[in-house]
Amino acid sequence: MKIFFYKSILVFILFILAIHFSFGVITKQIKREYSSIVSKEKIEQIKNKLREEIKTGTEKEVLINPKDAKLLNNFLIKLRSELEKTKNK
Amino acid sequence: MINKIKNFQYIFLSLTYLIIVLVVLSTFKDFGVHIEEKFHRMNGLYWLNYIAQIFNFEKISLISEIKLKEISDYTLSSVEHYNKYGVIFDVPLALIEIVFNIEKIENVYHIKHFFSFIIFLISSFFFYKILIKRFKNFFLCLAGTVLFITSPRIFGDSFLYKDVLFLSFFNIALFFLLKSSDSLNLKNIFFFSVFSAIAFNLRIFGIFLPVTFFLILIIKSLNNKNIYSYFKFYSFYLFSLICLIIFFSPYLWSNTLANFLDIFLALKRDLIDADIKILFNNEFIINRNAPDSYLFTWIFISTPITTLILFSLGYFFYSKRFIKRFINIKKEQIYNDLWRGQNEQKDFIIFFILTSFYLSLLVFNSPFYNGWRLVYFLNIFIIYFTVYQINNLIILYRKDYLKRKIILLFALASIIHNVICLVIYHPYQSYYFTELISNNKKNTFEGDYYGISGKHFFLKLSSDNKDQKIKIAVASHTPLHRSLESIDFDLRKNFEVVGQEYKNADFIYKNNISEVNSNLNKKYNIPNNFVKIYELNVNGIKIYEIFKNIK
């Protein structure tokens, strides 16, 4: 009875610690990573970065190179014509 | 001859305490008001009013109600909301405030600080009694007690009636636990239940006391067929503990069971601030997701190095002995399984509480903030194992007079080091960091989380800008306006705290306490039209800075 009691306690403690130092630690790590990515400050930082990039973009004389501009223009015309067609149907 | 020695010891001990009291009497007013004192005053008055209404003490009820209405603070939650806080200190002090008609608010806080320290000092005497019963060496135990009192962070906090108040009552309860384990009788058990109930009233961690007592009796009963007697004593303990917990908590006087369960539920719900950011090793981490090393790191960086070395060795050697005992458990044996005599039983209890508590914190992923202040009571165990190790060394070198003296000198050097730190850091001892880490590193951890520098800040501005109306902005999570109560009313009315409205401010107060990641969030950034005019630096720790508006 006595030996059984001590062995049970030992097994119980080791089991809890094994769970903690394997599953528990990994969960904590994932939570930490996740919360640092989706934190309010991080989102705010990304927004600010976007604002800065747009601002520097608009300050440039040429925003996109002529080849890309032509490509985009063609794409928008095509898109528009297809949308018009769908509307008429 | 024995009587003469005993008399000498008592005189020496009394003199030590007298010196400490005299030093504290001349310095205790230097400590600032911490940010939660206003709430504790409110808590005391609220429950005093409740008790006075029940027992029909009309005058006290009326005065406490008036005083309660006078307390206003837009950043402070009502007591109705946070109604589970312990009242064991707050209510008697609210009664003293009313009975002695203390009008000046700063005096109310000074008295609270003084009483808080006196309770700590009384508990240190119980610590001395624990040590002397175990080690039976007067100078060693006296050294241990002085180390206990002068541990810088603990000493600094002992005036602030929060975590060290719990430490004090836990320590007294531990004394009676050890006494009850040595000799089971109703008197010891009753006192043990009284102090366990008070400890529980202050912090839920007090629950470790009945659990430990239960385990000790179980282990004893495995080798001793006295189960019925142990059961009887434990039932008595449990019964008186429950009655006293209810007695000490007016919150439990109605809807007892539901409210009792709510104490545990509230812990999860609102008492632990959900997901606040804390500065830890130059990173802002969420307090609920603190790394496992959080507590260990904090203890390491804010405990004097000599104490830390001796504690580590003491804990290591006791663990070794414990494992040996555990491996050698036999079906039938004369002694107890895990200890031989009463001294070893004491070591086991201390070891068990420390280890099981630390592991529970890890397993239950307890949230932390402000360093290790929530578990300052662990200092009892740290100093116990420190003394244990010094005793081991004395026994090891018992035949070598010189080495024995060197060990005692080492203990004396630790005390002198602590005292020097207390002087250097005064009154910011609760922000002590070990000399092992660089000044830069010190500032990568939370600093003045209690906002006790507020008093120094207001007094400094008052002396530099006599009789001028000053607007103060706060670049910190600290509710600075609460510190106004630490200064005289005539000075207080010259200040207006405007929060984070920097454009309206003449000066900005800044410390490194932030609930958001201040590397990413610009909330506490100082605007360009402000220049730094002052920095309070204590031993490399930036306590606070003042910025002036140059328009």
Written in H, E and C, the secondary structure of B479-539 is: CHHHHHHHCCHHHHCCEEECCCCHHHCCEEEECCCCCCCCCCCHHHCCCCCEEEEEEEEEC
Same structural domain, B416 and B467: no
The reply to whether residue A16 touches residue B337, judged by beta carbons under 8 angstroms, is no
Same structural domain, B377 and B503: no
pLDDT given for residue A83 in this prediction: 92
Same structural domain, B458 and B310: no
B521: nearest CB among A32, A35, A41: A41
Beta-bridge mates of residue A72: none
The C-alpha torsion from B264 through A21 and B362 to B440, rounded to 10°, is -140
In a domain, B445, yes or no: no
Residue in chain A lying closest to B517 (CA): A41
Residue in chain A lying closest to B359 (CA): A17
Structure tokens belonging to residue B447: 């600093």
Same structural domain, B226 and B333: yes
Total-model pTM: 0.91
Q: What are the tens digits of pLDDT across the range B298-315?
A: 999 999 999 999 999 999
Same structural domain, B85 and B219: no
- The region of weakest confidence among B1-15, B93-107, B261-275, B532-546 is B261-275
3-state secondary structure of B342: helix
Q: Which residues of A touch B275 (CB under 8 A)?
A: 35
Q: Give the structural domain span for B528.
A: 454-549
- Distance from CA of residue B85 to its chain's centroid? 15
Same structural domain, B54 and B173: no
Question: Which residue, of B103, B135, B160, is where some domain finishes?
Answer: B103
Question: Which residue, of B54, B71, B103, is where some domain finishes?
Answer: B103
- The region of weakest confidence among B117-126, B272-281, B316-325 is B272-281
Beta-bridge mates of residue B541: B538
How many angstroms separate the CA atoms of B294 and B280, rounded?
8
Beta-bridge mates of residue B422: none
Structure tokens belonging to residue B147: 């180390």
In a domain, B544, yes or no: yes
C-alpha radius of gyration, chain A, whole number: 30
Same structural domain, B125 and B257: yes
Same structural domain, B182 and B204: yes
The reply to whether residue B365 touches residue A28, judged by beta carbons under 8 angstroms, is yes
Structure tokens belonging to residue B157: 């906090």
How many angstroms separate the CA atoms of B204 and B210, rounded?
12
Same structural domain, B461 and B410: no
Is 90 exceeded by the pLDDT of residue B549?
A: yes
Q: What is the mean pLDDT of residues B105-117?
A: 95
3-state secondary structure of A29: helix
Total number of domains constituting chain B:
3
Q: How confident is the model at residue A89 (pLDDT cuts 50, 70, 90)?
A: low
Q: Which residues of A touch B326 (CB under 8 A)?
A: 6, 10
Same structural domain, B85 and B122: no
In a domain, B368, yes or no: yes
In a domain, B282, yes or no: yes
Q: What are the tens digits of pLDDT across the range B393-427?
A: 999 999 999 998 899 899 999 999 999 999 999 99
Q: What is the mean pLDDT of residues B70-98?
A: 87
In a domain, B484, yes or no: yes
In a domain, B331, yes or no: yes
Q: What ipTM was reported for this prediction?
A: 0.72
In a domain, B5, yes or no: no
Task: Answer whether the bond into residue B427 is a cis peptide, omega within 30°.
Answer: yes
Residue in chain B lying closest to A28 (CA): B289
Q: Which of B225, B327, B362 to mutate to test the interface with A (most CBs of A within 10 A)?
A: B362
In a domain, B42, yes or no: yes
How many angstroms separate the CA atoms of B454 and B456, rounded?
5
Same structural domain, B421 and B463: no
CA distance A82 to chain B (A): 45
Same structural domain, B336 and B467: no
Question: Which residue, of B103, B134, B150, is where some domain finishes?
Answer: B103
